Structure 1
Amino acid sequence: MSGGRSTVTPLAEAVDVDVFGGKAAQLGAAIRCGLPVPGGYALSPDVVEAVVDGHPPAIAALAGVSDELGLVAVRSSAPDEDSAGASFAGAYLSVLGVSGADALAGAVRDVHRSGQLAGARSYQATLGLEAGSRMAVVVQQLVDADVAGVLFTRNPVTGADERVIEASWGLGEAVVGGLVTPDMYRVARGGTTLERRLGDKDIAIRLGRGGGDLTEEISVDPARAGTYCLGEAELAALDGLATQCDDVYGAHDHDIEFAFRGGGMFLLQRRPITHA
């Protein structure tokens, strides 16, 4: 159950967007409808602030989350984030590969602090939002992706009703952070491939070898870099995921982050398509 300064909330129970933010609420809706979302917890702003303050019961609650989930991703879920009018993509910090209670508490503090930085404040000001909005946080099992990327269910350039998919080897931060030129695919509703374009995937973000924040950039073998990272089976699965999102969210415009690991597909984030 949610509530209080030391109670973490399973993502499936994160219903109130005004409390848990758009990211957590949308992931919660996906879990309740059976979509393939990695397990995790939502931390309300009260809990986040308690962690920042070093409140012992909140720290103890995080230790339980760490013991249960193991290696996690820690992401912002501010009340104005991932809404139809504002995505905040890249405005706040995400911390990947976090292991252990102390590291998890530190990552929550870092994500909270990112909401006070100039980039986030500038974005808030541009949209006419209140500066320094309270920060909720999502803590989720980390998928050590073989392939990851983003899926738009409407062409962001032409507006066409089609799936546009960008993907690369490793974790999706290489794509969303602009570190590579990803493979690009255009897929019609129903799964027919309309176009595919090979990218320049010479680096990948993977889990590292040490403790703490475990991600690192690695070089990709040229032969592998020159190979498409998604096949027809994966494209069909993504088309099916997009259709499922239509039913879950009662809309057709989705900006989805996804990952494939060991043949399984995961929905990592979903937000409405927005130009903000």
Structure 2
Amino acid sequence: MDIRSKDAYVRDISALTIDDAEEAGGKGANMGELVAAGLPVPPGFVLLRDCYRDSMSAGGVAADLSALHREALDTGSDTGRLNQLCEQMQSLVQKAGVDDAVRDLVLGAYRELAAAAGGEVVVAVRSSATGEDGADASFAGMNATITNVAGEENLLEAVNRCWMSLFSPRVITYRATRGFTADPAMAVVVQQMVNSEKAGVAFTADPSTGARDRVVIEGAYGLGEVVVSGEVEPDTYIVA
């Protein structure tokens, strides 16, 4: 593959703005805005969506993924066939892996992050949906997040797992109900881990009523992923 420039594939979180949401996904772009606002954001970088696209093309699976994805969107209530198609698509993504040119850029950014941290760094590898995750739809908790990742090979494996999560039955079903028919792509956030005692999610509008005169906070002990993924029933706080 031809690398246009490093910034076309990998970018530091602090260099992103909301205008980069198409390439960095909503999660990556909004964290750039948080950095600009002076809020404490753990350092990291984002693999932009062309890392995924070019890796699938270089791996020779892009056309097959597109055809299988179109078929999966039309399976309706045939969950058996949907599961089968999702397994096929995830196997193709795993087969393609991370293209060598992308790999070099990702590992270079990871080494810079480790050097800034003073040694080996433990990271969270987080899916950041592109082109779909916005005002009318949210893929929160549907795509993969892998925490406590250390080491270069483990990082690359986690990136691939994030890409594979584009094609889970839950995600495909949601995409079909929202009328998303374009071939999906994904950016990936790589961010230094925080050993949190408690974590959670704050909603600036009440998710059950839409009321904007309150903030709803859902929290639990440990990492926030258990809240977002629905693994635990969180404590809920409503703040005026």
TM-score, normalized by length of structure 2? 0.70
Map 1:166-245 to 2 at 5 A. Answer: 166-188=218-240
Match of 1:92? Answer: 143
Q: Which is strand-richer, 1 or 2?
A: 1
Match of 1:45? Answer: 49
Offset of residue 174 of structure 1? 2.4
Residue from 172, 185, 188 that aligns with 1:134: 185
SS in 1 for 2:109: helix
Match of 1:65? Answer: 109
SS in 2 for 1:64: helix
Change (3 A) 1:178 1:45: closer
Runs of 4+ aligned residues of structure 1 deviating over 6 Å after TM superposition are none
* In structure 2, C-alpha distance between the alignment counterparts of 1:158 and 1:53, rounded to whole Å: 42
Residue 83 in structure 1 maps to residue 127 in structure 2: no
Offset of residue 44 of structure 1? 1.2
In the alignment, is the contact (CA less than 8 A) between 2:52 and 2:185 conserved in 1?
no
Residue from 103, 120, 125 that aligns with 1:74: 125
Change (3 A) 1:166 1:117: closer
* In structure 2, C-alpha distance between the alignment counterparts of 1:23 and 1:132, rounded to whole Å: 19
Offset of residue 131 of structure 1? 4.7
Residue from 26, 44, 55 that aligns with 2:99: 55
* In structure 2, C-alpha distance between the alignment counterparts of 1:118 and 1:5, rounded to whole Å: 33
Residue 156 in structure 1 maps to residue 158 in structure 2: no
Unaligned runs of 5+ in 1: 189-276
Unaligned runs of 5+ in 2: 56-95, 115-120
Q: Deviations over 1:150-201 (max 9, x none)?
A: 111222234431122121111112222333332222211xxxxxxxxxxxxx
Match of 1:143? Answer: 194
Q: Deviations over 1:242-265 (max 9, x none)?
A: xxxxxxxxxxxxxxxxxxxxxxxx
In the alignment, is the contact (CA less than 8 A) between 1:72 and 1:98 conserved in 2?
yes
May I ask how many residue pairs the two structures share in their alignment? 187
* In structure 1, C-alpha distance between the alignment counterparts of 2:147 and 2:182, rounded to whole Å: 26
* In structure 2, C-alpha distance between the alignment counterparts of 1:75 and 1:82, rounded to whole Å: 14
Match of 1:32? Answer: 36
Query: Which amino acid is 2:46 matched to?
Result: A
Query: Which amino acid is 1:13 matched to?
Result: A
In the alignment, is the contact (CA less than 8 A) between 1:6 and 1:61 conserved in 2?
no
Q: Which is helix-richer, 1 or 2?
A: 2
Percent identical? 41
Offset of residue 4 of structure 1? 5.4
Offset of residue 65 of structure 1? 3.0
In the alignment, is the contact (CA less than 8 A) between 2:142 and 2:229 conserved in 1?
no
Offset of residue 139 of structure 1? 0.8
SS in 1 for 2:148: strand
